[in-house]
Chain A
Amino acid sequence: MRAKKLRLVTVLAASLALALTGCGREGGPSGGEPQVQQNVAQNVQVQGSPTFDRMKQKGRVTIGVKEDQPGLGFRDPVTNQYSGFDIEIARLIAAQLGFDPNTQIDYKPIPSTAREQAISTGEVDYYVGTYTINDKRKEQISFAGPYFMAGQDLLVRADNTDITGKDSLKGKKVCSATGSTPIQRVKQDQLTEPQNIVEFQRYSECVQQLLDRQIDAVTTDDAILKGYAAQDPDKLKVVGKTFSEEPYGVGLAHDDTALRNKINDVLEQSATNGEWKRVYDATLGKSGTSAEPPKVDRY
């Protein structure tokens, strides 16, 4: 009797564990994407930047990133390697600030809701993770960049033909992250009916529901969607008609103008000397779409 009971418990526990790992089906590029080699700048000076002084003192740089967005900021759960476009941009900036990107970076995964907090308390030195520049956020923190221009788009199943853009969503179930700007736009512009709006904590959960045919479209920035489409090109596709502009910036402490100028210099330089292009081609560019570095906004 005892043994039987124990076996039942074991089976239940095993199926629970399966359920847990099954949900994280995002999988992703195993072994990490090729890291772009960076030349570490020597004798870097950033006058009057408290953040830079702190980094110098530690001899390391702490960068806030996303860990659940394939192609942008993704942590391989097995190897703990970070990969993606945002990660490569973060490495590029670190190298130009005089830190070896292979040995002197600490990545810290920070979810969207905690970004401002992490930056203003100094938990991270700067943040690179699909961070849309907007005026309200500029009141709390500062932005360097933009380093990428994304736009809201739709991810659908590859066999779908009736969703062609934002105006064909009526009567379709649309999913995005809880409270995110993309889903708020869908609500405000009444792109679909209120009962057809679905919100989950993570985009990967929306993608799961899309594959399970519970919903018809996932909406957010095209950069994020391309990452998912590239993972499962047989089953998923991006519609490719963006209907917003999301300039991605590097988040940093509010009053650190010196560091902001420095990072803007780095980004401008990488756009002209081809570094930016190399980074893009090694990551998001693999989805088959091209992109140009946006003009840096020195506000």
Chain B
Amino acid sequence: MNILVEYGDVLARGFLRTIELFLLAAAASLVLGTILATLRVSPVPALRAVGAGYVTLLRNTPLTLIFFFFVFAYPKLELIQFPFFTAAVIALTIYTSAFVCEVLRAGINTVPVGQAEAARSIGLGFAQSLTNVILPQAVRAVVPPLVSVLIALLKNTTVAAGFSVAEVGSVIPFLNEQGEPTLNAFVWIAIGFLILVIPLTLIQRSFEKRWSVAR
């Protein structure tokens, strides 16, 4: 308990940074993931290949390695330089979007083929049938796995601690250097994550109930 009193500000700052990272990366990877899913179901083989290639590469690369690339290799290319926080958001986004893409694609597969055929038969193009008919149904079907992907993203933000982003993952070595028992710090951080994850789970439940598609 005295950790909370003595280092409350450090913990609070760490969690604030974690939430920032999470919200930015979540928003960006939902957008990028949707674009990728569109690529993967598009009628153009080249686009499908690009989407599949991206997902295969990024989903099979450890997140730490992606971080490593942006912090240690990317600067050597001498392109646009960006701060570590931006690098962390980019790394988390390109990693998570591969998972978002696959979840969405799974959702698209749950929409009966008849829906797409019906859309085409009333004269809708690929883009129109996707945005008006298929995606709305697909998104509803994938709320639970999508939230799971987001929860995983939330926890993955702790990887950024090793790459100069002072989120909550960096609090553990900090407290340890202050001579506090590591276990106590772990307990408080675990509780903090619970507090962050529970609302996500509640949102998941309520969306699941309100949005379920009757088929």
Binding site for B on A (CB under 8 A): 12, 16, 19-20, 23, 112-114, 116-117, 134-137, 139-140, 177-181, 184, 195, 198-201, 205, 208-209, 212, 214
Chain B residues whose C-beta falls within 8 Å of the C-beta of A16 in the assembled complex: 61, 65
Q: Is B211 an interface residue (CB 8 A)?
A: no
The one of B65, B72, B84 in contact with A198, judged by C-beta atoms closer than 8 angstroms, is B84
Contact B164 A199 (CB under 8 A): yes
Chain A residues whose C-beta falls within 8 Å of the C-beta of B73 in the assembled complex: 19
Contact A200 B57 (CB under 8 A): no
With CB as the reference atom, state the residue of chain A lying closest to B165. Answer: A199
Contact B65 A180 (CB under 8 A): no
0 or 1 for each of B171-186: is its CB under 8 Å from A? (1 = yes): 1111111111111000
Contact A199 B72 (CB under 8 A): no
Give the 6 A-B residue pairs with the shortest CB-CB distance, closest first. Answer: A136-B179, A179-B173, A179-B174, A201-B162, A113-B176, A137-B179
Contact A113 B72 (CB under 8 A): no
Contact B172 A208 (CB under 8 A): no
Contact A179 B182 (CB under 8 A): no
Contact B61 A116 (CB under 8 A): no
Once A19-B68, A116-B182, A208-B72 are accepted as A-B contacts, the answer to whether A180 and B164 lie under 8 Å apart by CB is no
0 or 1 for each of B46-69: is its CB under 8 Å from A? (1 = yes): 000000000001000100010011
B166-199 residues with Cβ-Cβ distance < 8 A to A are: 166, 170-183
Q: How far is the CB of A48 from chain B (nearest CB, A)?
A: 26
In the bound complex, how far is the Cα of B166 from the Cα of A140, in angstroms?
A: 27
- Could you pull out 27 A-B pairs where Cβ atoms are within 8 angstroms? A12-B57, A16-B61, A19-B69, A20-B65, A23-B72, A112-B173, A112-B177, A113-B172, A113-B173, A113-B176, A113-B182, A114-B182, A116-B182, A178-B174, A179-B171, A179-B172, A179-B173, A180-B177, A184-B177, A198-B164, A199-B164, A199-B166, A199-B170, A201-B161, A205-B72, A209-B72, A212-B72
Q: How far is the CB of A111 from chain B (nearest CB, A)?
A: 9
The one of B76, B166, B179 in contact with A134, judged by C-beta atoms closer than 8 angstroms, is B179
Q: Is B75 an interface residue (CB 8 A)?
A: yes
The one of B69, B173, B179 in contact with A178, judged by C-beta atoms closer than 8 angstroms, is B173
Chain A residues whose C-beta falls within 8 Å of the C-beta of B181 in the assembled complex: 116, 140
In the bound complex, how far is the Cα of B174 from the Cα of A139, in angstroms?
A: 17
Chain A residues whose C-beta falls within 8 Å of the C-beta of B176 in the assembled complex: 112-113, 116, 179
Between A113, A178, A195, A199, the greatest number of chain B beta carbons within 10 A of the residue's beta carbon is seen for A178
Q: How far is the CB of A17 from chain B (nearest CB, A)?
A: 10
Q: How far is the CB of B121 from chain A (nearest CB, A)?
A: 34
Contact B173 A212 (CB under 8 A): no
0 or 1 for each of B113-143: is its CB under 8 Å from A? (1 = yes): 0000000000000000000000000000000
Between A140, A181, A199, A201, the greatest number of chain B beta carbons within 10 A of the residue's beta carbon is seen for A199
Chain B residues whose C-beta falls within 8 Å of the C-beta of A177 in the assembled complex: 173
B78-128 residues with Cβ-Cβ distance < 8 A to A are: 83-84
In the bound complex, how far is the Cα of B170 from the Cα of A184, in angstroms?
A: 12
Contact B179 A179 (CB under 8 A): no
In the bound complex, how far is the Cα of B65 from the Cα of A140, in angstroms?
A: 35
Chain B residues whose C-beta falls within 8 Å of the C-beta of A20 in the assembled complex: 65
Contact B162 A178 (CB under 8 A): yes
Contact A179 B72 (CB under 8 A): no
Contact B179 A139 (CB under 8 A): yes
Chain B residues whose C-beta falls within 8 Å of the C-beta of A198 in the assembled complex: 84, 164
Chain A residues whose C-beta falls within 8 Å of the C-beta of B171 in the assembled complex: 179
In the bound complex, how far is the Cα of B178 from the Cα of A140, in angstroms?
A: 12
Contact A178 B61 (CB under 8 A): no
Chain A residues whose C-beta falls within 8 Å of the C-beta of B180 in the assembled complex: 136
Once A116-B181, A198-B164 are accepted as A-B contacts, the answer to whether A212 and B172 lie under 8 Å apart by CB is no
In the bound complex, how far is the Cα of B179 from the Cα of A161, in angstroms?
A: 36
In the bound complex, how far is the Cα of B49 from the Cα of A77, in angstroms?
A: 40
With CB as the reference atom, state the residue of chain A lying closest to B73. Answer: A19
Chain B residues whose C-beta falls within 8 Å of the C-beta of A184 in the assembled complex: 174, 177
Q: How far is the CB of B81 from chain A (nearest CB, A)?
A: 9
In the bound complex, how far is the Cα of B183 from the Cα of A214, in angstroms?
A: 34
Q: How far is the CB of B132 from chain A (nearest CB, A)?
A: 35
Q: How far is the CB of B77 from chain A (nearest CB, A)?
A: 12
In the bound complex, how far is the Cα of B167 from the Cα of A239, in angstroms?
A: 31
Chain A residues whose C-beta falls within 8 Å of the C-beta of B57 in the assembled complex: 12
Contact A178 B170 (CB under 8 A): yes
Q: How far is the CB of A261 from chain B (nearest CB, A)?
A: 23
Q: How far is the CB of B83 from chain A (nearest CB, A)?
A: 8
Chain A residues whose C-beta falls within 8 Å of the C-beta of B162 in the assembled complex: 178, 200-201
In the bound complex, how far is the Cα of B184 from the Cα of A77, in angstroms?
A: 34
In the bound complex, how far is the Cα of B57 from the Cα of A201, in angstroms?
A: 26
In the bound complex, how far is the Cα of B61 from the Cα of A208, in angstroms?
A: 22
Contact B75 A214 (CB under 8 A): yes
